[in-house]
Amino acid sequence: MAGANAAQMRHFLADTYLSFVYWTVLTSLGLCIWYFPLWHMGISGYEVALLSNISPVVLGVPCVRRVIRRHRAVGAILGLAGVAAYAIASPTQRLLAVALGSAGVSLSFGATLYTDKVQGTGRLERDIQAWEAGLLVSIAVRMLFQTNNPVWPAMNEANGGWNKTGLALGVLAVLDVVTRRSDAVAEVHEAKKHDLSPGTTKRQAAWVPAALGFGGLLFALHSMFSDSAIIGRWSWDGYPATGPQPVPWGGLVITALAAGFSVGHRADLATGMLWWGVGSAGAALITLVSGWPGFAGGLALGFYLGTVTRSILRAVALCPPGRTLFAGMLWYNILVLGHVWVVAYEFVPGGPLLRERTWLIV
């Protein structure tokens, strides 16, 4: 029993670190893309790399889905390309490596949700918890390194990067994934032995709402909560900023998000219209009101997003993986572009439509 518990803990730590890689690559892709429009002072064409995260669309092909299901480490290995990209000097080639990593982590996450939805094993719940824990680790690391992620490809030994350490830990985590396949098979057999269906429930979630919900959730977590300083800076006007500083108030942001994750198992609470109203009120406050009330609204929004994360990912897992994750990531990309357009220059096509209209995106 002790050995089994140790193995479960090892698996969870490996999954948490790979989730940290997921958030690292996700947040670094925009960073690498942004270099090119700034250099060219206009649309450069490299923005198309943003679409690398729609890679889960291949899960809609049965033969590909079977291969990915048998070889789950493929996506994680590709994801490490985004971590190893720091060693590439050329900005173009580095972006291509990060885009490959983005495709890998997105594919790995989608395949995990699809594969581990087997009832009676509890694997899906552990996967979601690891994904949440990876985000919290990513935020805490960025707080420690003054908003930088030490594993970003823009970092190196000269500016405080820990790229080699991050890559080595990633390799160890992938090795754990490779060696645990027999554990997954054993859990499925155990579920069958206790007359627990190895398939999904007969109730299928509606895939379009699930996709839109996932895309919106991912955008909100990325744009507003992937750095603990964002909410404090967003809620305050003027210079110098006299409101909540990144330290220590960023810790309160992390706490709000973690507290939301901790009650995410309460689907009756998370999916209620009353609770949706609370989250909407928080979003309105952070968007429209400056000062401490706006910061409080941001904390309420973070807590709300934490509570709904598990319910949304459960719904996504019950849907056809290819089209659901394709639509979800496409919606996420549209929101990301809209978020950029609110500060677009006049020469950017469509720039005046969304400029200074952040409330439309929220």
| Three-state DSSP state, 293 | helix
Compute the distance between CA of residue 114 and CA of residue 178 in angstroms, rounded to an integer: 17
Q: What is the pLDDT of residue 4?
A: 65
Nearest to 326 by CA among 28, 30, 59, 72: 59
Type of residue numbered 48 = V
The runs of H, that is alpha helices, within 180-206 are 181-193
Q: Return the axis-axis angle of helices 292-317 and 91-115, rounded to nearest 10°.
A: 60
Residue ranges, the chain, pLDDT below 50? 191-192, 194-202
Cis previous bond, 321, omega within 30: no
Q: What is the pLDDT of residue 191?
A: 47
Residues, the chain: 362
| pTM attached to this predicted model | 0.89
Compute the distance between CA of residue 307 and CA of residue 236 in angstroms, rounded to an integer: 26
Name the CA dihedral angle for 174, 167, 28, 301, rounded to a multiple of 10 degrees: 60
Q: Which two tokens stand for residue 2?
A: 């002790």
Nearest to 265 by CA among 70, 139, 122: 122
Compute the distance between CA of residue 115 and CA of residue 112 in angstroms, rounded to an integer: 5
Q: What is the pLDDT of residue 2?
A: 62
Neighbours of 164 (CB within 10 A): 15
Compute the distance between CA of residue 219 and CA of residue 278 in angstroms, rounded to an integer: 19
DSSP string for 89-147: --HHHHHHHHHHHHHHHHHHHHHHHHHTT-TTS-HHHHHHHHHHHHHHHHHHHHHHTTT
Q: What is the pLDDT of residue 47?
A: 84
Compute the distance between CA of residue 103 and CA of residue 93 in angstroms, rounded to an integer: 15
Compute the distance between CA of residue 95 and CA of residue 25 in angstroms, rounded to an integer: 11
Q: Are 32 and 98 in contact (CB under 8 A)?
A: yes
Compute the distance between CA of residue 273 and CA of residue 304 in angstroms, rounded to an integer: 12
Q: What is the pLDDT of residue 351?
A: 64
Cβ burial 83-103 (10 Å sphere, 16+ → b, else e): bbbbebeeeeebbbbbbbbbb
Q: What is the pLDDT of residue 352?
A: 67
Name the CA dihedral angle for 88, 89, 91, 97, rounded to a multiple of 10 degrees: 0
Q: What is the pLDDT of residue 325?
A: 95
pLDDT, tens digit, for every residue of 78-130? Answer: 999 999 999 999 999 999 999 999 999 999 999 999 888 766 567 899 999 99
pLDDT, tens digit, for every residue of 2-35? Answer: 666 788 889 899 999 999 999 999 999 988 988 8
Q: What is the pLDDT of residue 29?
A: 94
